[in-house]
Amino acid sequence: MKLKKDVIWHEYGHLFSYKLIEKISKKNRNVIELRLLKNESNNPFIKTNCTDFVRLKNEDWFFFQKNLKKKFKNNGFYHQCIINLMGAVFQIECKIDKPTIDDFIEIFININGQVSDDNLIGHAGADFVNIESYVFDYEEEKLKYIDLKNFALTLHALLKKERIFELLKDKISVFNENYNGKHLEGANLLLDEIEEIGVIIDDSNLVKLVNIEIKELKKQFNTL
């Protein structure tokens, strides 16, 4: 079954974030799989070849956590947070004219079972659970998750200011027509779509503005 329009916006938001973080970090990401199907057992996703924050099959949990610790020494954690948050940023833009922090709190709620098409509650719950899994217990005490939800609201405001949603609206409609209801695998998918996103980012001040907000967020978390 095909996905609702706002869910397509959600997945496109993740796709957008891959190119944005590539611009910020200078680390290339290639899309290798997309599943844009409504399925009771699997959430839709767009997967890249980056495994920095992915626990590999049969990998020991404590070994995985130890390796993650190294990524807290640079901005890798914040870049990954943006990737996890951006789906909600786009989905909320599709559904709500003037979002507030309460909208982001609701969309990041972790609920059991299927989310409802009638509201946004829990639609990005799994994304936020992934962020929580990146953090060690003793660091979690210093990390205020409400700050990350406020950060998502800030990201939305930046994209709005730079007219990113407006410039991408028609492209997301074409993306919906071309890929909704499909499951594709390959070494390098969505090249045209990613190139279009890159041009729009380059024509904006978004990279500079996001880097400024990352610095501010780091001040709040201090040690992360």
In this predicted model, what pLDDT tens digit does every residue of 14-31 receive, in sequence order? 999 999 999 999 988 999
Question: Is residue 91 a contact partner of residue 124, using CB atoms and an 8 Å limit?
Answer: yes
- Residue 72 pLDDT exceeds 70: no
Confidence band, pLDDT 50/70/90 cuts, at residue 62: confident
Question: In sequence order, what are the beta bridge partners of 34?
Answer: 46, 184
pLDDT confidence band for 178 (50 / 70 / 90): very high
Q: What is the pLDDT of residues 112-151, one digit of tens each?
A: 878 888 899 999 999 999 888 887 655 666 678 899 999 9
**125 dihedral zone (left: phi>0; alpha: psi -120 to 50; beta):** alpha
Q: Which residues pair with 46 in a beta bridge?
A: 34
Going by C-alpha positions, the residue among 116, 101, 73, 74 that lies closest to residue 211 is: 74
Q: How many CA atoms lie within 13 A of 138 on its CB side?
A: 3
pTM above 0.85, yes or no: yes
Number of H helices, E strands in the chain: 10, 3
What is 159-174 written as a DSSP string?
A: HHHTTHHHHHHHHHHH
